[in-house]
Structure formats: structure tokens, C-alpha cells
Amino acid sequence: EAGVAQSPRYKIIEKRQSVAFWCNPISGHATLYWYQQILGQGPKLLIQFQNNGVVDDSQLPKDRFSAERLKGVDSTLKIQPAKLEDSAVYLCASSLSLGTGETQYFGPGTRLLVL
Amino acid sequence: GQQLNQSPQSMFIQEGEDVSMNCTSSSIFNTWLWYKQDPGEGPVLLIALYKAGELTSNGRLTAQFGITRKDSFLNISASIPSDVGIYFCAGGLYNNNDMRFGAGTRLTVKP
């Protein structure tokens, strides 16, 4: 079974530029998550989707971050405009459904460096 | 919000030694999970705990869900070089799958 796919794996941009990340979850997984992992810290949840609907985006900085999962499968996370403090690894994860007991499977992440 | 304190921050041990790390919280969690992250990869689930007091093993790994629901520990017995990595605890709630992660314990194993 293929795992969670993410692209690109690395991205370097200048501050105030825009960037987008793509995630393809495990086939059949209804729930998709985006996490931000700053160097030396644990992942922090940004947004979670159930199919194509947003379940929780309370920790997403909505003035610059946006995410969508239009067809309930792939998802994109966008930052516009980027700031220096956005440098981090952006992890995508998926699970069969919501709720305790549903294991989240993580992708390899996209490493973003904002100069 | 819920804060998780994970300790130690890093450990340097000899191959064959046992390792213990723990996680505490100021708030109650209904699930505790332990993940391992290798360089350049996403976290991989090692052990999931769902009941207060639960003790669960996965090979050389053992984890416990504290009685107070505010803490958990992970033990690794007879460490080997491939145990090197960063170990994260995470606490979860029943009503959704929003997990809060600790800052991680970086483990180095010397052959």
C-alpha cells in the first residue's frame, strides 16, 4: 500500500513570496491533516479535513495560510505571503476517519526555508 | 491550551542499555501515543494507549498511560543503533483527532 505522498520535498523562497504544497493521502483515507514542525519542536496541527470539509482550522494563521481539499482526496496548503518564521517542515497525514483509535500516517514532509 | 512537557530533551547511551523517557501535561488526555521520527521522514506510530493505567509493549518498547491521565512514559530495552532518532509523545482527545505533540527526545546510541 502506498503511503502519504508530498511534494515538493524541499522549497526555498524569499520572504513575501507565495508557496504551495501538495499532499496525496493514502487511498481510502477520509481524514487529512496538515502539521507545521519547526526545528526542534513537535508537529503542530494547522488544519484537518474530513472528506472535503474542514473539521478544525483553529490553529491556521488564516491571514496568510489557506488549504483546500476540493474533491476529498488530494490537498494543497498555501502560504501567501511567506514570512521568515514560516521556515519549517510541513507534514501531511491521513487516517481512515476521525476519532480516537484511528492511526495517523505521516508523509515525509516538505522542508520550507524562507530567506 | 494543553502543553506537553517531554523529558529528557536528549540522551546519549551505549548500545545494549535501557532507555526511559516521559511526558507530562497540565491537562488530561484520553489517549497517549508515542512516535519515532527519523531524519527526513515523518513520524511513525510506535505505541498507542487508550486507557488510564494501560501498559502496552511493542517488541523492545513498553509504554504506560498514567493513572492521572496527565502523563506517560516510554521504555526501550536493550537499545540498538537503529533506535537512533527523535521520539515524540502525543496526547489526544476523544472528540476529534487533534493531537498535541511534545518537543521530542533525541536519542543517540553509540555502538
pLDDT tens sequence across A80-93: 999 999 999 999 99
Residue B64 cell numbers, joined: 504506560
Average pLDDT value for residue range A15-21: 98
Q: Which helix (H) or strand (E) holds B92?
A: strand B85-92
How many Å is the maximal CA-CA distance in chain A?
40
The CA distance from B1 to B99, in Å, is: 12
Predicted local confidence at residue A103, as pLDDT:
84
- Asked if B45 and A40 come within 8 Å (Cβ–Cβ), the reply is no
Nearest CB to A42 within list B40, B97, B103: B103
Q: Is A104 on the interface with B (CB under 8 A)?
A: yes
Predicted local confidence at residue A112, as pLDDT:
98
- Hey, what amino acid is at A10? Y
Predicted local confidence at residue A97, as pLDDT:
82
Q: Is A99 on the interface with B (CB under 8 A)?
A: yes
C-beta of residue A20 within 8 angstroms of C-beta of residue A78:
yes
| Nearest C-alpha neighbor of A21 from the set A84, A80, A72, A94 | A80
Nearest CB to A106 within list B30, B43, B103: B43
| Nearest C-alpha neighbor of A36 from the set A9, A59, A8 | A59
| Nearest C-alpha neighbor of A96 from the set A50, A54, A63, A64 | A50
In this prediction, the residues of chain B whose per-residue pLDDT falls under 50 are none
The CA distance from B55 to B41, in Å, is: 28
Predicted local confidence at residue B95, as pLDDT:
59
Angle subtended at Cα B57 by Cα B73 and Cα B12, rounded to the nearest 5 degrees: 50
Q: Is the pLDDT score of A37 beyond 90?
A: yes
pLDDT bin (cut points 50, 70, 90) of residue A14 is very high
pLDDT bin (cut points 50, 70, 90) of residue A1 is low
Mutation test of the interface with chain B: which of A59, A104, A105, choosing the one with the most B Cβ atoms within 10 A? A104
Residue B33 cell numbers, joined: 501515543
